[in-house]
A and B are shown apart, each in its own frame.
Chain A
Amino acid sequence: MTDTVAIVTGRRARRPPARVTRRRWLPYAYLAPALLLYGLFLLVPLGRAAQFSLYEWDGLGASTFVGLDNYAAVFQSAQLREAFAHALVLIVFFAVLPLALGLVLAALLTRARVRGLGFFRTIVFLPQVIAMVVIAVTWRQIYAPEGPLNTALRAIGLDSLARAWLGDYDWALPAVGLIGTWVSTGLVTVLLMAGMARIPREQYEAARLDGAGAVREFLAITLPSVRGEITVALTLTIVAALKTFDLVYVTTSGGPGTSTTVPSYEVYRLAFTIGEVGAAAAVGIVLTVIVFLINAVVNVIGERR
């Protein structure tokens, strides 16, 4: 097996691999096992979901074909529209804020020769490693009416700010969003640090000789150099924002009222608690399309030179 690979790559070094081009099916034979699994566990379920979305079905009995009615309902239902709006708000908390924080943190951590850099990097990255359910349970405690956050606010005399964060109609969504910020920042920072480490030091020296300050250096050298990393970071965090489920499920169940519902939670609610599987599938498909569209835009902008 390893021999074959070596021969193929060895030939490629000199000229195009003749044997491979002659037998066009060969690359696909190598791809087949992975493609089969991918198709079976991803594409087929996706196709089935698209199919389900055309039916009215309670998940138990017979189904009725309703065409695009479920999609119409997604756009007509105030509660579902609200859920999608919440997801867009979460993008700010999951992607935009962490990117801003991450750029500053990464620039500081790469430039400053601090002792124990590894330690700080680990701390910043730690939220990524913990299961989202654990994070959600922890933050639920932190946001509780008698929890640490309110205790801290009262201790410094800000009693008027203390509130039941997750039970407050205005604050619940930002409170949930900030958990996302806390989680995403580590990932974004570490990605950006990797990018910044690749920037040749000479560029900074040259800039400094030209009289550039730290801010100028950051804008002229650092930021353009990590464009690729920013694209990757935004793609990952936007996807995370749009498909958030566990965080909302554990912290607020979409409440109070409907103030923190998100599309993924609606999929769960429709399919499992209300028994409208068709409508749930339609929400899921619409969400998938939105995720693709937003990320396509991010990548087109990110790769443009």
Chain B
Amino acid sequence: MHRHHRMVAVSAVGAAFALGLTACAPGSGSTPPAEESPAGEVSTDVDELGDVTLSVWDQEVRGGQNEQIEQLNAAFMEEHPNITIERNSQAFDDLATTLRLAITDDDAPDVVQANNGRNTMGAFVEAGQLRPLDDYADAYGWFDRYSPSILQYSTYSEDATEFGEGNLYGLPQVGEVVGVFYSKSKLEGLGLDVPKDWAAFEEALQAAKDAGETPMLLGNIEKWPALHVFGPLQGSLVDAEEITDLGLGNPGASWTTPENEEAAAHMQGWVEDGYFNDGVNGTDYDAAWQSLAAGDGVFLIGGSWLAADLEDAMGDDVGFFVPAKEDGTKATTGGTGLPFAITSASENPDAAAAYIDFLTSDDAMDVLAETGNLPVNDTAEHAPDSGVQADVFATFGEVTESGAVLPYLDYATPTFADTLGQALQDLIDGRVTPAEFTETLEADYSDFTAGG
């Protein structure tokens, strides 16, 4: 009897396995990408469409972000009563992990916010899951609305081997720029002006150190925050075009150059000289900027998305700048917020395109600025009169117009966020030399560009 039970159990398990194994190969059951619409078929007259429900997956969850998207969604539905927006919003990290599953589903969302890099948008384009938007861009005039330097970050060749050239796959609402936040009162206390260039910045770090202050705050337990310190630093030493090729994962550049190695040496030197708080790799990202707000440091290198929170905490005491390169221009990491894209599976691309057009219109830029976001277009016009946001708007305008916006380095390859995050923790801890650091990155980059 006992044995009999076991046999039945075993055969049941076996049957279940067989059931699993005979099911189709992974990936073959997902939605086949819809046929590309022939040119001329797109329509901008969405009121003719009848009742449409548009499913939108976004990551606009923080205070001002959520406010702007709610306002714009409401306004859009009021203007087009036949369209209902079904919003699904998740935090940045959550969206990145769930989108992969959702986008291959039979019931995929119509509009998704997909991160620019090869890991997300690149992978979706390669798998044919996103719809090229060039026909809509012509119909709505998006190529005039946006500067090419912004659009390149959501442009891929059809097979996704080229990043920055080819078809347009998405439009962002906001701009982003990485720079240096500082405490005005601390800087004044040290008797220093806002550093104009990188040499002056390093002098200020030393002066702060000599005065017994913590010169610069960094919380890098999450691995990625150090990317935003290394990016601008690399921008000060390495040619912008070289960084763009490296950052977009296009062939023809190299990590193992003297300039890149020098950038790494600077980064490590800052740790060795005691310019950072102790235990960088064990400090929370949020704890670092909160320390600046609490008056426990002078500088913090970070993205413009921190401006609103820092202003809330520090009021007029916080400022923002980007040090200039030796030639006087400014080059720093930045670009755009996550672009809105249309899935190939969407049954209502016309309505989806109208929605994206609405989200990025001139009126939308006003709403974005009013809710404390950095509008990607006409930024200077929307700048507030004072406060850290005025600094951020001015810097973004200056960098996009006369300087160079450098891509986030983790866009480069599907694994680069991981590789660079680990390598930077190793570099900060002094476990690798600057040369070994660049070799690790070169291995990932050249593997990808050779294989792609």
B426: which A residues are within 8 A, CB to CB?
Answer: 256-257
Q: Tell whether A88 is near chain B: CB-to-CB under 8 Å.
A: no
> Once the chains bind, are B282 and A59 in contact (CB under 8 Å)?
no
> Once the chains bind, are B278 and A47 in contact (CB under 8 Å)?
no
Contacting B at CB under 8 A, from A257-273, are 257-258, 269, 272-273
Contacting B at CB under 8 A, from A42-94, are 43-48, 50-52, 55, 57-63, 65
> Once the chains bind, are A255 and B97 in contact (CB under 8 Å)?
no
A169: which B residues are within 8 A, CB to CB?
Answer: 429, 431
Binding stretch for chain A, among B16-24, B83-91, B355-363: B16-24
> Once the chains bind, are A257 and B283 in contact (CB under 8 Å)?
no
Q: Tell whether B281 is near chain A: CB-to-CB under 8 Å.
A: yes
Min CB distance B188 to A, Å, is 25
> Once the chains bind, are A60 and B282 in contact (CB under 8 Å)?
no
Contacting A at CB under 8 A, from B246-277, are 277
- Complex Cα spacing A51 to B287, Å: 43
> Once the chains bind, are B418 and A273 in contact (CB under 8 Å)?
yes
B20: which A residues are within 8 A, CB to CB?
Answer: 43-48, 50-51
- A21-55 Cβ-contact flags toward B at 8 Å (1 or 0): 00000001000000100010001111110111001
A163: which B residues are within 8 A, CB to CB?
Answer: 279, 282
B129: which A residues are within 8 A, CB to CB?
Answer: 60
Q: Tell whether B26 is near chain A: CB-to-CB under 8 Å.
A: yes
Known contacts A63-B25, A163-B282; A275/B119 CB under 8 A: yes
Known contacts A163-B282, A255-B223, A257-B426; A43/B16 CB under 8 A: yes
Min CB distance A172 to B, Å, is 8
- Complex Cα spacing A269 to B23, Å: 25
Known contacts A43-B16, A62-B28; A48/B23 CB under 8 A: yes
Query: In the complex, which of the residues B20, B96, B127, B415 has the most CB atoms of chain A within 10 Å of its own CB atom?
Result: B20
> Once the chains bind, are B431 and A62 in contact (CB under 8 Å)?
no
> Once the chains bind, are B123 and A57 in contact (CB under 8 Å)?
no
Tally A residues with Cβ within 8 Å of B.
Answer: 47
> Once the chains bind, are A145 and B282 in contact (CB under 8 Å)?
yes
A172: which B residues are within 8 A, CB to CB?
Answer: 282
Q: Tell whether A299 is near chain B: CB-to-CB under 8 Å.
A: no
Q: Tell whether A274 is near chain B: CB-to-CB under 8 Å.
A: yes
- Complex Cα spacing A172 to B279, Å: 12
Known contacts A28-B8, A43-B13, A44-B20; A255/B281 CB under 8 A: yes
- Complex Cα spacing A257 to B420, Å: 10
A258: which B residues are within 8 A, CB to CB?
Answer: 422
Contacting A at CB under 8 A, from B153-196, are none
Binding stretch for chain A, among B99-107, B237-245, B365-373: B99-107
> Once the chains bind, are B25 and A55 in contact (CB under 8 Å)?
yes
Min CB distance A50 to B, Å, is 7
Provide the main secondary structure of the chain B interface. helix
- B391-413 Cβ-contact flags toward A at 8 Å (1 or 0): 00000000000000000000000
- Complex Cα spacing A48 to B25, Å: 9
Q: Tell whether A168 is near chain B: CB-to-CB under 8 Å.
A: yes
Q: Tell whether A143 is near chain B: CB-to-CB under 8 Å.
A: yes
- Complex Cα spacing A63 to B163, Å: 23
Q: Tell whether A167 is near chain B: CB-to-CB under 8 Å.
A: yes
Min CB distance A237 to B, Å, is 26
Q: Tell whether A144 is near chain B: CB-to-CB under 8 Å.
A: yes
Q: Tell whether B220 is near chain A: CB-to-CB under 8 Å.
A: yes
- Complex Cα spacing A253 to B422, Å: 10
Q: Tell whether B306 is near chain A: CB-to-CB under 8 Å.
A: no
Known contacts A59-B100, A60-B124, A258-B422; A144/B17 CB under 8 A: no
> Once the chains bind, are A253 and B27 in contact (CB under 8 Å)?
no
Min CB distance B264 to A, Å, is 15
Q: Tell whether B446 is near chain A: CB-to-CB under 8 Å.
A: no
Q: Tell whether B12 is near chain A: CB-to-CB under 8 Å.
A: yes
Min CB distance B128 to A, Å, is 7
Contacting B at CB under 8 A, from A284-300, are none
Q: Tell whether B221 is near chain A: CB-to-CB under 8 Å.
A: yes
- Complex Cα spacing A225 to B99, Å: 53
Q: Tell whether A183 is near chain B: CB-to-CB under 8 Å.
A: no
Min CB distance A149 to B, Å, is 11
The residue that A55 contacts in the complex, of B26, B104, B220, with Cβ under 8 A, is B26
Contacting A at CB under 8 A, from B13-65, are 13, 16-21, 23, 25-28, 30
B418: which A residues are within 8 A, CB to CB?
Answer: 269, 273-274
The residue that A51 contacts in the complex, of B8, B26, B123, B421, with Cβ under 8 A, is B26
Q: Tell whether B280 is near chain A: CB-to-CB under 8 Å.
A: yes
**Which residue of chain A has its CB nearest to the CB of B15?**
A39
Q: Tell whether B384 is near chain A: CB-to-CB under 8 Å.
A: no
A165: which B residues are within 8 A, CB to CB?
Answer: 282
- Complex Cα spacing A28 to B414, Å: 49
The residue that B283 contacts in the complex, of A39, A164, A252, with Cβ under 8 A, is A164
Q: Tell whether B284 is near chain A: CB-to-CB under 8 Å.
A: yes
The residue that B25 contacts in the complex, of A46, A65, A269, with Cβ under 8 A, is A65
Min CB distance B131 to A, Å, is 15
A252: which B residues are within 8 A, CB to CB?
Answer: 221
> Once the chains bind, are A167 and B26 in contact (CB under 8 Å)?
no
- Could you give 28 example pairs across A and B, Cβ below 8 Å? A46-B17, A47-B19, A47-B20, A51-B26, A58-B123, A60-B129, A61-B27, A61-B127, A65-B25, A144-B282, A145-B277, A145-B279, A163-B279, A163-B282, A164-B282, A166-B221, A166-B282, A167-B221, A167-B279, A255-B221, A255-B223, A255-B281, A256-B425, A256-B429, A257-B422, A272-B100, A274-B119, A274-B418
Sort A-B residue pairs by CB-CB distance and give the 7 closest, nearest first. A47-B20, A164-B279, A167-B282, A164-B282, A167-B281, A43-B16, A60-B127
Residues of chain B at the chain A interface (Cβ within 8 Å): 8, 12-13, 16-21, 23, 25-28, 30, 96-97, 100-101, 103-104, 119, 123-124, 126-129, 220-223, 277-284, 287, 414-415, 417-418, 421-422, 425-426, 429, 431
